[in-house]
Amino acid sequence: MSTTDPSAPRVAVIGGGQLARMMAQPAIALGVPLRLLAEAEGVSADQVIADSRVGDYRDLDDLRAVTEGCAVVTFDHEHVPTEHLRALAADGVVAHPGPEALVHAQDKIVMREAMSRLGAPQPRWAVVADTADVEAFGLPCVLKVSRGGYDGKGVWVVREIADAAEPLAVAERTGVRLLAEELVDFTRELSALVARAPSGQAAAYPVVATLQVDGVCREVVAPAPDLDPALAASAQELALRIAGELGVTGILAVELFEAPDPDVEGGTRVLVNELAMRPHNTGHWTQDGAVTSQFENHLRAALDLPLGSPEPRARWTVMVNILGGEDEAVGRLYDGYPHALARDPRLRVHLYGKALRPGRKVGHVNVYGDDLDDCLERARHAAAWFRGDLGNESE
């Protein structure tokens, strides 16, 4: 090991998914070694990080072992228990984001309370415990478990009171509190992504438009087309303010609804939907479309290094996720390359080293250029091809 640069700090990453995998690329460039805590051998990031060990992020001993000798610990997901992060902090292990910030991405009720405190625009909400509470809140509404939901799981649209039975039962069984939110009649979904360093320096990426299907991100267009520049600026300012007020370090994604503004004829406004404190699916376009990717800025922020420019490198960048189709035998990943790459020499493909399964995110493509329709067509074609939706006669 005598040849290794002795000055570079080691970064522990908890969770072996594709977000940790994609942090490995800028870590290579920065010369910063990563140490991974993976859920199991062979998971996405475990395949590509040399210093990887298998363990349980809910086990304090595993967390202590993996962070030993690391300058900082960061995350692939938001599920590390707050009390473990506090215990690590007591040991002198710095986490970015830290537990006091992260709780806002772990608990939707804590997040809603904070947004109320900050006066951030958001849907009407309440904590509900039983049918009477839901009726009092008013229908239709959305019920969400405050903790543990992801990608549309743990979210129910309640149009009549009978629809509330399942979420109330889940909440009672799991002991998790239930959040009721106004069902927002939104025009589209936006995402405002910022990076913030412990020094307080922050960088805001362009606000993007995101298409969600069944709670799963499918497409992102950067920047959001036809977005009122004043609204875009206010969404960036909102995300920067949330990051600052909550003490977020690393990437913060503020998922937003764009909805008609009742106070302005023909105008729209944004409402805070969700917060995520890690590189986010709505920021994958930055890998090929921005000067500095969200993954690099997440690492820079965790290390309290100056952040890189979040400026876009092209007029438009489109990201489309590659999801396993209903029939996994029809999809193709590596075998999709000959057609997809030959058809589009400028296509950027990112696969996660995962086998195809129905509905599973296994990769994404990025396409950038001057013509949005062209970018959309190329990215959608490639993603559909990998998914197996465009004929399967290539064998």
Residues within the interface to a second copy (CB under 8 A): 1-9, 21-22, 24-25, 27-33, 40-44, 46-50, 52, 203, 287, 291-292, 300, 305-309, 311, 313, 332-335, 337-338, 341-342, 345-356, 362-363
How far CA 184 is from CA of 158, 181, 218, 345, in Å, comes to: 13, 8, 20, 41
Minimal distance, residue 102 CB to a second copy, in Å: 25
What six digits make up the tokens of 232? 């875009």
Minimal distance, residue 250 CB to a second copy, in Å: 16
| Ligand-binding site membership of 144 (annotated) | yes
Q: Quick one: CA torsion of 352, 354, 356, 361, rounded to 10 degrees?
A: -50
User: Which string of DSSP letters, residue by residue, matches 126-183?
Assistant: EEE-SHHHHHHH-SSEEEEESSS-BTTBTEEEESSGGGGHHHHHHHHHHT--EEEEE-
| Ligand-binding site membership of 184 (annotated) | yes
For a second copy, which is the closer residue by CB, 146 or 287?
287
For a second copy, which is the closer residue by CB, 121 or 369?
369
Q: Which residue has the tokens 């229908």?
A: 139
| Ligand-binding site membership of 361 (annotated) | no
| Ligand-binding site membership of 392 (annotated) | no
Distance CA 91, CA 88 (A): 5
| Ligand-binding site membership of 321 (annotated) | no
| Ligand-binding site membership of 183 (annotated) | yes
Handedness of CA 54, 55, 57, 62 (dihedral sign): negative
Minimal distance, residue 239 CB to a second copy, in Å: 18
| Ligand-binding site membership of 281 (annotated) | no
For the beta sheet containing 52-54, the strands, ordered from the edge strand earlier in sequence to the opposite edge, are 52-54, 34-38, 11-14, 72-75
Minimal distance, residue 59 CB to a second copy, in Å: 21
For a second copy, which is the closer residue by CB, 291 or 376?
291
Distance CA 302, CA 23 (A): 12
Q: Is the peptide bond before 97 cis (omega within 30 degrees of 0)?
A: yes
Asked if residue 51 lies in contact with residue 27, where contact means CB atoms within 8 angstroms, the answer is: no
| Ligand-binding site membership of 326 (annotated) | no
Handedness of CA 221, 43, 21, 90 (dihedral sign): positive
| Ligand-binding site membership of 366 (annotated) | no
For a second copy, which is the closer residue by CB, 160 or 395?
395
For a second copy, which is the closer residue by CB, 33 or 121?
33
Helix (H, G, I), strand (E, B) or coil at 368: strand
Q: Which residues pair with 374 in a beta bridge?
A: none
Minimal distance, residue 172 CB to a second copy, in Å: 33
How far CA 305 is from CA of 70, 294, 364, in Å, comes to: 16, 14, 28
Minimal distance, residue 342 CB to a second copy, in Å: 4
Minimal distance, residue 50 CB to a second copy, in Å: 5
For a second copy, which is the closer residue by CB, 2 or 160?
2
For a second copy, which is the closer residue by CB, 5 or 265?
5
Binding residues: 108, 144, 181-184, 189, 273-274
Binding residues for ATP: 108, 144, 181-184, 189, 273-274
